[in-house]
Amino acid sequence: MELTLPIRDIQFTAGSPSERRTGLLGWIHLQYGELLLDGLALQQTRDGRLVLLFPTPSHRAGISRGDDVRHQIEAEVITELRWNRAIP
């Protein structure tokens, strides 16, 4: 069973013109369940896909975090930003 936490309070800050030329569309701050996520970057890839880039903290034990939650958050955030017409 997949657990889906609510995403709310999405705030999008558009990147500068020079950042946008490199594909960095802007920065995202949101609430995911009880977790506050800040400093997420919205990037448009060379092939036109939109992806969220999460800050990557180093972990001494080298534990890898799963991509499944990142992909779920990414899909929901991009859908919400499009619905609000913040991005194309």
- Please give the Cα distance from 15 to 41 (Å, whole number): 9
Residue at 88 is within a domain: no
Q: Tell me, what's the pLDDT at 50?
A: 94
User: Distance of alpha carbon 26 from its chain centroid, rounded?
Assistant: 10
Dihedral (CA of 56, 68, 23, 47) sign = positive
Split into its structural domains, the chain has a count of 1
Q: Tell me, what's the pLDDT at 9?
A: 92
Q: Is the pLDDT of residue 1 over 50?
A: no
- Please give the Cα distance from 78 to 62 (Å, whole number): 29
Q: pLDDT-based confidence at 61, cuts 50/70/90?
A: low
Q: What is the pTM of this model?
A: 0.69
Q: What domain range includes position 28?
A: 7-83
Q: Tell me, what's the pLDDT at 64?
A: 52
Q: Is the pLDDT of residue 23 over 80?
A: yes
In the block, tokens 């946008």 appear at 20
Instruction: Tell me phi and psi for residue 56, to 5 degrees.
Output: -115, 90
Per-residue pLDDT tens over the stretch 31-48: 988 888 899 999 999 999
